[in-house]
Amino acid sequence: MPPKNTVEATPSTMKELKDTLWKAADKLRGSMDASQYKDVILGLVFLKYVSDAFAERRTQLHDELVAEGMTDDQTAMLIDDTDEYTGHGVFWVPDNARWEYLAQNAKGLSANYGNAPRNIGELVDDAMDAIMVANPALSATLPRIYNRESVDQRRLGELIDLFNTARFTGQGPGRARDLLGEVYEYFLEKFARAEGKRGGEFYTPAGVVRVLVEVLEPTSGRVYDPCCGSGGMFVQTEKFLDAHNKDRTAIAVYGQELNERTWRMAKMNLAIHGLNANLGPRWGDTFARDLHPEMQADYIMANPPFNIKDWARNEEDPRWRYGVPPKNNANYAWIQHIISKLAPGGSAGVVMANGSMSSNSGGEGKIRAELVEADLVSCMVALPTQLFRSTGIPVCVWFFAKDKTVGDQGAIDRTGQVLFIDARNLGHMIDRAERALSDEDIAKIADTFHTWRGTPSAKGRTYEDEAGFCYSATLEEIKDADYALTPGRYVGAAEIEDDGEPIDEKIERLKKELLDQFDESERLAAVVREQLRGVS
């Protein structure tokens, strides 16, 4: 018998569905710490995904076998051929790990055949084990934390009921999995906001990631992120490919992540989005041990942790081609690691703290000068404040290119030039603490770069400097500025629109208006004093 619907009506829109699931999931929080709670919820979303994908492939395979004239017995024998699932990018899901089984037993499994009763947490843990055994690629990835005292078993069962009744299915081929991918991303964002600074370690705001993706336009080759967090750079790359009708199999994804829990999140996130990523056999420190030592990437996108003071520094490291980074700040270690991984013709986008553009401490100024003189910097973008809820540090994006000559990367030779974009005035506040970039904001930044570089997406438009927003500087100009790369030094002030009023008349008018306001303020203050005297 199917489980009873625990909600009066299934939400009709994606936003309502996300909000409903989040509110239901939030009831599980209980005595769990934030990181465990996150693992519990995201693990359930992943379990729902693999089960739905398996069921969808099973139905498709059944229809194919019937269409080929197979008998019921032949169909029953062939429909459980594991290769028919894994060969189509679908994980094999054993009977006891399928969502239908868990939903039927959301209140636990009663005693039978002499076995003791089992709660839903035990069943979910067993399901995670079964999936990892059946799919070695997921080994050591899935959480087994559902049968702990801190997990409210009744509410866990209710949440499984709700997931079961939510409208993920019947959306068309693959759409159920796409919806679950959206839910996973939504939950990641909500967890990041709830966890504050800790959340910033695994989640980069989608708008910031899109700036990197839209500027770099990764369509084929190797894509790499040395500090991949929950895999947001790769997910946005997949969306870019889909939006431009490009083959997502044309890219190969490589990443590395230091934190074990975050590495697991990334593995699940990428699996949900159908991305076969090489994140190494386990988590690990990129500086201490590069898990992809021979790999050269065509595109690199990264949001490294800012201003790390304690990092695995080795002065003899061959990656420090442009200077040894200081002990108390890893910013230029990340930059040089990324450059060392770029293939000929490769390009990169790296989110950094604003201080990286002008700092001279610990030899950083000399390293920056070497990078400029090597003509590796292609574009600098200053972003608005408050894009990261987890930090108030203003950020920028460094874009690097191994080759600025005419070729696949652009039809305009930009050798010896750097584009500066000051985007600090873009964006809008979505609440009192956080700003977001709109589609138009992101397009303005990306279009400016593409017209400057002469890429096909510029569609023949001609680049022009825009006072207060963008400027194409020569290396000589940058040298004259002591190799500071802050866009505001180059773009100048925006032109003030001439309203036709002579400046002398405008000053006189504004002065009179100000004095009139002072007089009105004094009059109102006198009224208030008079009223206060009458208060006993």
Identify the CATH number of the domain in which residue 145 sits: 1.20.1260.30
Most distant pair of Cα atoms in the chain: their distance: 99
Residue 8 domain-assigned (yes or no): no
* ∠ Cα 49 50 54 (to 5°): 115
| Sequential DSSP letters for 77-144 | HHTT-THHHHTTT-----GGGSHHHHHHTTT-B---TTPPPB-HHHHHHHHHHHHHHH-GGGTTTS--
Q: Tell which residue, 206, 194, 203, has the closest CA to residue 257.
A: 203
Note whether 187 and 221 are same-domain residues.
Answer: no
What is the extent of the structural domain holding 387?
196-491
Residue 309 domain-assigned (yes or no): yes
Note whether 32 and 134 are same-domain residues.
Answer: yes
Q: What residue has token string 């919820």?
A: 41
| CA torsion through residues 190, 194, 196, 200, sign | negative
Residue 125: CB partners within 8 Å, gap ≥ 6? 144, 145, 146, 147
Question: Last residue of some domain: 143, 178, 193?
Answer: 193
Residue 374: CB partners within 8 Å, gap ≥ 6? 322
Q: Name the β-bridge partners of 419.
A: 379, 472
The Cα–Cα gap between 461 and 446 comes to: 13
Note whether 401 and 507 are same-domain residues.
Answer: no
Q: Name the β-bridge partners of 377.
A: 400
Q: Name the β-bridge partners of 435.
A: 429
Residue 5 domain-assigned (yes or no): no
Note whether 462 and 340 are same-domain residues.
Answer: yes
pLDDT tens for the chain, 536 residues long, are: 444 444 444 555 778 778 888 888 888 887 777 778 888 889 998 999 899 889 889 999 999 999 999 888 888 888 999 999 988 889 999 999 999 999 999 998 876 655 777 899 999 999 999 999 999 989 889 999 999 988 999 999 988 988 887 766 555 555 666 777 888 888 888 888 777 666 667 788 999 999 999 999 999 999 999 999 999 999 999 999 999 999 888 999 999 999 998 999 999 999 888 888 999 999 999 999 999 999 999 999 999 999 999 999 999 999 999 999 999 999 999 999 999 999 999 999 999 999 999 999 999 999 999 999 999 999 999 999 999 877 778 899 999 999 999 988 899 999 999 999 999 999 999 888 889 999 999 999 999 999 999 999 999 899 999 999 999 999 999 999 999 999 999 998 766 555 667 777 778 888 888 888 888 888 888 888 888 777 75
Q: Are 242 and 185 a contacting pair, CB within 8 Å?
A: no
Q: Are 343 and 298 a contacting pair, CB within 8 Å?
A: yes
Note whether 237 and 90 are same-domain residues.
Answer: no
Note whether 204 and 187 are same-domain residues.
Answer: no
Q: What residue has token string 């950094």?
A: 352
* ∠ Cα 292 296 301 (to 5°): 85
Note whether 176 and 42 are same-domain residues.
Answer: yes
- H or E stretch covering 510: helix 503-533
- Number of CB atoms found within 10 A of residue 139's CB: 12
The Cα–Cα gap between 140 and 132 comes to: 7
Alpha helices in 227-342 (DSSP H): 232-243, 260-272, 331-340
Residue 248 domain-assigned (yes or no): yes
Give the end-to-end CA distance of the chain in Å, rounded to a whole number. 75
Residue 6 domain-assigned (yes or no): no
Q: How many residues belong to the chain?
A: 536
Residues 479-512: b if buried by 16+ CB within 10 A, e if exposed: eeeebbbbbebbbeeeeeeeeeeeeeeeeeeeee
Note whether 430 and 531 are same-domain residues.
Answer: no
Q: Name the β-bridge partners of 407.
A: 410
The domain that contains 405 carries what CATH number?
Answer: 3.40.50.150
Residue 7 domain-assigned (yes or no): no
Note whether 375 and 348 are same-domain residues.
Answer: yes
Residue 496 domain-assigned (yes or no): no
- Beta strand 417-422 with 470-474: parallel, antiparallel or unpaired? antiparallel
Question: Last residue of some domain: 145, 163, 193?
Answer: 193
Whole-Å CA distances, 21 to 48, 378, 478? 13, 43, 52
Beta-strand runs (E) in 465-508: 470-474
Q: Provide the phi-psi class of 35: left if phi over 0, else alpha when psi is between -120 and 50, else beta.
A: alpha
Note whether 322 and 430 are same-domain residues.
Answer: yes
Q: Name the β-bridge partners of 225.
A: 255
The Cα–Cα gap between 352 and 25 comes to: 34
Q: Are 455 and 410 a contacting pair, CB within 8 Å?
A: yes
Look at residue 196 in the predicted model and tell me its pLDDT: 66
Burial class (CB in 10 A: 0-12, 13-18, 19+), 149: exposed
Note whether 166 and 258 are same-domain residues.
Answer: no
Q: Tell which residue, 489, 494, 462, has the closest CA to residue 478.
A: 489
Q: Are 374 and 397 a contacting pair, CB within 8 Å?
A: no
- Which amino acid type is present at position 409? Q
**What strands, in cross-sheet order, belong to the sheet with 470-474?**
277-278, 251-255, 221-225, 297-302, 342-353, 395-401, 377-382, 417-422, 470-474
Look at residue 503 in the predicted model and tell me its pLDDT: 76
Question: Last residue of some domain: 193, 219, 253?
Answer: 193
Note whether 310 and 213 are same-domain residues.
Answer: yes
Q: Quote the number of domains for the chain.
A: 3
Q: Are 340 and 400 a contacting pair, CB within 8 Å?
A: no
Q: Tell which residue, 160, 204, 162, 161, has the closest CA to residue 43.
A: 160
* 3-class secondary structure, 19: helix
Residue 410 domain-assigned (yes or no): yes
